[in-house]
Amino acid sequence: MKAIPQASFEADVSSLRNGTHHSPHSFLGPHPDGDLTIVRAYHPDAIAVEIATKDGVFPARRIHPGGLFEARVPVRDLPGYRLRFTSPAQKWEADDPYRFLPTLGELDLHLITEGRHRELWRRLGARILEHQGVVGVAFAVWAPNASGVHVVSDANFWDDRTLPMRSLGASGVWELFVPNAHPGTKYKFRVTGAGGRQKLKSDPLARFQESSPARASIVEDSHYAWSDVDWLQARATGNPVEKPLSIYELHLGSWRRGDGDRVLGYRDIAEQLVTSCRDMGFTHVELMPVAEHPFTASWGYQVTNYYAPTSRYGTPDDFRWFVDHLHQHGIGVIVDWVPAHFPRDDWALAGFDGTALYEHADPRRGSHPDWGTLIFNYGRNEVRNFLVANARYWMDEFHIDGLRVDAVASMLYLDYSRKAGEWVPNIYGGRENLEAIAFLREFNEIVHADFPGAITIAEESTDWPGVSRPTVSGGLGFTFKWNMGWMHDTLDYMSKDAVFRRYHHNQLSFGLWYAWSENFVLPLSHDEVVHSKGSLVGKMSGDMWQKFANLRALLGWMWAHPGKKLLFAGCEFGQIAEWSHDNPLDWHLLDDDRHAGVQRLVCDIGARYRETAALFERDASPAGFHWLDVGNADQNVISFTRFDAHGYPGIVCIANFSPIVHTSFRVGLPRPGTWREILNTDATPYGGSGQGNLGAVTTEPVPWHGCGDSALMTLPPLATLWLSPE
């Protein structure tokens, strides 16, 4: 190796010291020179460096006062060696990171650049691997506009000068293999922007992250052994739209607490959650976002680390155990996913490499006016890849059964919450965000292709067409869409005093005009019990007895109505207080018969729902539904029939939203014979008045409601009945 020209030498040293060297391996580490190998090492605090090989120890001489050392080792092909450093304060020894080849190949870099690397987390971030016979951590990060990137970690005593990474060309990826890092090593990246400004950043693909206020990423290496193969095989069969789906939504940190108000971990929560969900008949839980977020009061909707389950409740393997445990007990797991926006914390994604990298540079497209957050640049290949791979990551690494995508409406419209002049039209002059639409379609296509039976759910509050229709027919490709219209209409109706409900009867029936335009989930979610909206039972009209009666009637009505179901935690027992993320639910209320009665009702509804095919097989088809009496506004009564996939009328639902008991009330029934009263929300075990039909009614050949047969029955006050033919 020829001597390095002085100008080039000074430039290398200067860029090392400034943190802007793009190719430290070309200057540091081993370099053949005839029959010798020149080894260079850099550490500004070192006063002596030695090269330890199998053939002996070779002292290095200081060749620059800035901390550059060089040794000439009399071996042409120098195999493994270690560096021994001495500083005024300590001595230490380590493998030389600059003797290793890159850990990413050309194909990886090509796929990253094109935005098609479906397993991005297996190449970027921090990976434990054996490389050239040495076990260590491969660090890699995308920062195309950075002038330098360093690993700063436990492995180098948090010295932000000594582990510069190399740039892998046009890909924008920076890489370094650090031999003495290991699982549990905490680290950050020091990113030097084009203007020389340096910031310590957490790893965008960190798989484990310290919780706020600490901000270090943590090297994670999972060897978790799953036990849910039967669940995954069963999930992959059949059409999710034709299966029962009743979702229990909760916030992990406030669902229950341990002794002394101790926040429970993933494993403790899982064991208690299994018992609750099995008792209540829920098929799935939906977790408000579990990706790491520094601001607890955001409830997880301001994510800084998309690949890291929050460490508030344990390790990533603890979360794997959580999912596995629920699967083994027949309960699916859905998580809220937030690709619509991210916070401005300058140690996370925002301005990652000194430029608008993950976010759109134009604030009219990259800044969210409602939440003060940043919007992803969906038109950039690498950013779209970051999000699509993240969706796959949760399903691959954690066996998640579904993703509920937050704030889809804000993604679809360029003028969302913006005034004239505050937004930029698309290339056709329209308000549709074409790049976000393409991203959502790609996300749905890949999830459904790669994870059979997994579901995606859109929280989409507008009348955008085809949200849950296949992408091949122009839809967005979601499995389901939240039915926000049904929720608003129904809750508004239930808030009205019964004497005025006759003027709002259409709010109960209007949803059936569009019920099959999408595959709907009927949500009574956390959004309805926060921000001074009160509790669900508090929304009901009347005195306290009537409020609870109305709540029970609503739940009976909701579970019989076409559409999958979602209920927020606490609503199943009539939580009185508005939900607070800072406090656990008021489980002590179950000592009160009224609250215990609501919970018993939910348990019975859940059991009936899962065993009654008519309540779910044709949720998305008009052939599964028929009105019996939709126009009885004066008596606040409404009724319908649900049919299973074979056309069998499995359930008749009759709701009396009046406080008056209707006796000798005739209802048409689609089959002659005896009909069992399988649910009565006014039953005394639920806290009701006990009015009803002694368990069954028998038809007479009297035509009514378009049916050839009918029966006289008693309709309890503020109650829903389910009848099933024997």
Q: Alpha carbon of 85 to those of 75, 134, 576: distances in Å?
A: 21, 20, 65
Given a contact cutoff of 8 angstroms between Cβ atoms, the answer to whether 461 and 409 are in contact is yes
Looking at residues 492-505, what average pLDDT do you find? 96
Q: What is the DSSP string of 404-435?
A: EETTHHHHHBTTTT--TTSS---TTS-SB-HH
**Rounded mean pLDDT, 182-202:** 95
Task: With H, G, I as helix, E, B as strand and everything else as coil, classify residue 631.
Answer: coil
Write down the pLDDT at residue 78: 85
Give the span between the Cα atoms of 190 and 181, in whole angstroms.
17
pLDDT band at 79 (very low <50, low <70, confident <90, very high): confident
Q: Say what the pLDDT of residue 32 is.
A: 92
- The CA distance from 505 to 490, in Å, is 10
Q: Write out pLDDT tens, residues 266-282.
A: 999 999 999 999 999 99
Q: How confident is the model at residue 194 (pLDDT cuts 50, 70, 90)?
A: confident
Token code pair at residue 619: 């949720």
Give yes or no for residue 395 having a pLDDT over 60.
yes
Q: How far apart are CA 647 and CA 365, in angstroms?
A: 49
Q: Which CATH architecture has domain 106-218?
A: Sandwich (2.60)
Q: Which of 286, 406, 489, 617 is catalytic?
A: 406
**What 3-state DSSP class applies to 75?**
coil
Q: What is the mean pLDDT of residues 158-180?
A: 96
271 as an active site residue: the answer is no
- For the cut 70, the answer to whether the pLDDT of residue 3 exceeds it is no
Is residue 82 within 8 A of residue 96, CB to CB? The reply is yes
What's the average model confidence in pLDDT over 22-26?
Answer: 97
Distance CA(247)–CA(569), nearest Å, equals 10
Is the confidence at residue 515, as pLDDT, over 70?
yes
Confidence of residue 723 (pLDDT cuts 50, 70, 90): very high
Range 166-185 average pLDDT: 96
Percent of the chain residues past pLDDT 70, beyond the cut: 99
HSE of 622 in the Cβ direction (CA atoms, 13 Å)?
8
The boundaries of every CATH 2.60.40.10 domain in the chain are: 6-95, 106-218
Q: State the CB neighbour count (10 A cutoff) for residue 700.
A: 14
The strand pair at 332-337 and 402-405 is best described as: parallel
Q: What share of the chain in percent tops pLDDT 90? A: 96
CA-nearest of 495, 719, 508 to 629 is 508
Q: Is the CATH number 3.20.20.80 carried by domain 244-613?
A: yes
Question: Quick check: 84 pLDDT over 80?
Answer: yes
How far apart are alpha carbons 626 and 143 in whole angstroms? 58
Residue 345 falls in the annotated catalytic set = no
pLDDT at residue 114 greater than cutoff 90: yes
Higher-scoring residue by pLDDT: 525, 2: 525
Average of per-residue pLDDT values in the chain: 96
Residues near 245 by beta carbon (within 8 Å), at least 6 away in sequence: 283, 284, 455, 480, 521, 564, 565, 616
Cα separation of the two ends of the chain: 92
How far apart, in whole angstroms, are the C-alpha atoms of residue 234 and residue 246?
17
In this predicted structure, the answer to whether residue 639 has a pLDDT above a threshold of 80 is yes
In the chain, CATH 3.20.20.80 covers 244-613
User: Could you name the CATH architecture of 621-725?
Assistant: Sandwich (2.60)
Q: Which residues pair with 136 in a beta bridge?
A: 129
Q: What confidence score (pLDDT) does residue 76 get?
A: 80
Of the listed 50, 336, 435, 459, which one is catalytic? 459
**For the chain, how are helix, strand and coil distributed in percent, rounded to 5?**
30, 25, 40
Above 60 in pLDDT, residue 467? yes
Check whether 617 has a pLDDT greater than 80. yes
Inform me whether the pLDDT recorded for 1 exceeds 60: no
Confidence of residue 55 (pLDDT cuts 50, 70, 90): confident
What are the residues whose beta carbons fall under 8 Å from the beta carbon of 675, sequence distance 6 or more? 652, 669, 696, 697, 698, 699, 711, 723, 724, 725, 726
Instruction: List residues bridging with 359 in a β-sheet.
Output: 376
Mean pLDDT of 661-682: 98
Where, residue-wise, is CATH 2.60.40.1180 in the chain? 621-725
CATH hierarchy code of domain 6-95: 2.60.40.10
Q: What is the identity of the amino acid at 709?
A: D
DSSP H helical ranges for 51-102: none
Residue 663 above 80 pLDDT? yes
Give dist(CA 555, CA 431) in Å, integer: 38
Residue 664 has pLDDT above 70, yes or no: yes
pLDDT of 2 strictly over 90: no
| pLDDT-based confidence at residue 7 (cuts at 50, 70, 90) | confident
440 pLDDT higher than 70 = yes
The single residue listed with the structure tokens 């308000």 is 431
